[in-house]
Chains A and B, each alone.
Chain A
Amino acid sequence: MREKILHYIEKNARIDLKDLAVMLETDEAAVLNELEAMESEHIICGYNSLIDWDRAGIEKVMAMIEVRVTPQRGMGFDKVASRIYNYPEVRSVYLISGGFDFMVILEGKTLREVAEFVSNKLSTLESVLSTKTNFILKKYKDYGTIMVEQPTDERMKVSL
């Protein structure tokens, strides 16, 4: 049941629990219990909305920053990561295999704000060796949802 619940709420956190219960052949209380259990176990870490800020007419600047660091003795990468992810403007931090160590996704109001964060906060961290900032120009698809086009039903209304 857990896997099914997660499958549905990952795509639609606002799904009516009564409907979900019917589809999973159980009752609403059982679904709710399961959800609460998964929240407390931190399996469900939060419920966010997927927003197209461009369409909302609200200016946002997003950048993906490749960061190379020196891991700290005894702590590995985790200690460095926490120095980075605790900044509220940092949306995501991933440890990456390949040519650099962290992928940091940053959100700011303006280009300058992002640039300042990189030069003042990120680059100045002791263990950071280098950064490379990639600004996002257009979001085509995010979290499995295509942002640039809206799905339409082009089927004939009735067919046998």
Chain B
Amino acid sequence: MRDPLSKTIVGIEPSGIRKFFDVVSEMPDAISLGVGEPDFDTPWRVRDEAIYSLEQGRTFYTSNSGLKELKEEISNYLERKYGLSYDPYSEIFVTVGGSEAIDVGLRTMLDPGDEVLIPEPSYVSYKPCAILTGGVPVPIPLRAENEFRLTGAELLEHITDRTKILILPFPNNPTGAIMERHNLEEIVDIVIEHDLFVMTDEIYAELTYGDAGHVSIASFPGMKERTIYINGFSKAFAMTGWRLGYACGPRAIIEQMLKIHQYAIMCAPTTSQYAAVEALRSCDDDVQAMREEYDDRRRYLIHRLREMGMDCFEPFGAFYAFPSIQGFGMSSEEFAERLLREKKVAVVPGTAFGDCGEGFIRISYAYSLESLKTALDRIEEFVKSL
């Protein structure tokens, strides 16, 4: 029999920490600070709207690009929150989570051999998606001393003649890093000068803390035409399981992305789309309340980590802290595995998010204060025992 498998897909490494995940799943009594999704329930009014849409029998396909009223609400929302201006009918389409937008965006823009710059540590899907489309992922290792922000110098160092796209995953999973306006200014100049495109994954935009507020690279003059803007409902509205996101960009790119979406996906889930309309129309207060609560937990977490002698920069985004464990003389994976076996607390080794995550662990604060406290007490015991 011939090999049924594509060489490309076989060539993609399975996530290196699958083994670790398996161990976690075999320990039902372990407590976890390892999740990448909100602990809040989707606001009830959103769920109620979904139920209502089902009662009404709204169970058919929507248009490929999504419900008209949803695209209009997305357009309003982006304008209102981030000063972005996208035409709802030609520059926005609704995807199955931000993940689909990443995949489709890269497939739309990359030819074989084109290089994609991926700041790391970062979410795990950019690299395989780039490879699947024949692109060449080029990691840019970010540094703790820069609070894991991307600097102009780091960007310049990795640009070649083949570089086409820069991925900007901020606020960042796993580090919690953000890019403030002055950080982005530097990047914008280089991107324009080198005629690059940007895929900005702003799924955590609503979860930005401190006074600066979230700034989108797409809002800079000259950037909208060279940016694919990705966002979604998972993190801001606590809607991970609804699988709903969106991509925005110049008409010419969106049109082509829609072709892939149309053939591969058809349309995003209809029920989720109706729910999302309600989320955008009436959940600003819920989002605000969740953000404030994350922010309080964030301060608590960082305080505790520093108190127990773990070195951690202050993260201003998402719901993660990314402390260094370099002082304990073991690898991230060893640390995570021993913490799990000895104290039954699950965290994610930094290496799950790229090689330069070595020496760090990701701790999520998408947990109630009580759970956070119990887990941190155990981490403290563990750290003191080393």
Q: A22-B299, A23-B299 known; A160 and B124 CB under 8 Å?
A: yes
Q: A155-B37, A158-B346, A159-B36 known; A22 and B25 CB under 8 Å?
A: no
Q: A19-B300, A23-B297, A25-B299 known; A157 and B30 CB under 8 Å?
A: yes
CB-based contact A22/B303 at 8 Å: yes
CB-based contact A22/B300 at 8 Å: yes
B-facing mask of A149-160, CB < 8 A → 1, else 0? 000010111111
Chain B, range 321-343, C-beta contacts under 8 Å to A: none
A57 to B174, CA, bound (A): 47
**Residue B21 at the chain A interface, CB threshold 8 Å:** yes
**Residue B267 at the chain A interface, CB threshold 8 Å:** no
Interface size class of B (residues with CB under 8 A): 20 to 34
Residues of chain A lying within 8 A (CB to CB) of residue B25: 157-158
In-complex Cβ contact of B32 among A16, A24, A157, A160 (8 A): A157
Residues of chain B lying within 8 A (CB to CB) of residue A158: 20-21, 24-25, 32, 34-35, 346, 348
CB-based contact B24/A157 at 8 Å: yes
A69 to B330, CA, bound (A): 75
Q: A19-B369, A19-B373 known; A157 and B299 CB under 8 Å?
A: no
**Residue B79 at the chain A interface, CB threshold 8 Å:** no
CB-based contact B300/A155 at 8 Å: no
A159 to B353, CA, bound (A): 12
Residues of chain A lying within 8 A (CB to CB) of residue B346: 157-158
CB-based contact A160/B373 at 8 Å: no
In-complex Cβ contact of B34 among A19, A22, A24, A159 (8 A): A159
In-complex Cβ contact of A159 among B37, B296, B369 (8 A): B37
**Residue B382 at the chain A interface, CB threshold 8 Å:** no
Q: A19-B369, A19-B373, A160-B123 known; A155 and B299 CB under 8 Å?
A: no
B-facing mask of A119-145, CB < 8 A → 1, else 0? 000000000000000000000000000
Chain A, range 11-40, C-beta contacts under 8 Å to B: 15-16, 19, 22-25
> Nearest chain B CB to A28's CB is how many angstroms away?
12
A-facing mask of B4-42, CB < 8 A → 1, else 0? 000000000001000011001100001010111101000
A15 to B300, CA, bound (A): 13
Residues of chain A lying within 8 A (CB to CB) of residue B300: 19, 22-23
CB-based contact A156/B299 at 8 Å: no
Chain A, range 57-114, C-beta contacts under 8 Å to B: none
Considering only CB atoms, which chain A residue lies closest to B28 in the complex? A157
**Residue B352 at the chain A interface, CB threshold 8 Å:** yes
CB-based contact B296/A23 at 8 Å: yes
A148 to B15, CA, bound (A): 41
A-B contact pairs, 29 of them (CB 8 A): A15-B369, A19-B369, A22-B300, A22-B304, A23-B296, A23-B297, A23-B369, A25-B299, A153-B39, A153-B371, A155-B35, A155-B37, A156-B35, A157-B24, A157-B32, A157-B34, A157-B35, A157-B346, A158-B21, A158-B24, A158-B35, A158-B346, A158-B348, A159-B35, A159-B36, A160-B173, A160-B174, A160-B348, A160-B353
Starting from the known contacts A156-B35, A160-B123, 20 additional A-B residue pairs (CB-CB under 8 Å) come to A19-B300, A19-B369, A22-B300, A22-B303, A23-B296, A23-B297, A24-B296, A25-B299, A155-B35, A157-B25, A157-B32, A157-B346, A158-B34, A158-B35, A158-B346, A158-B348, A159-B34, A159-B36, A160-B15, A160-B124
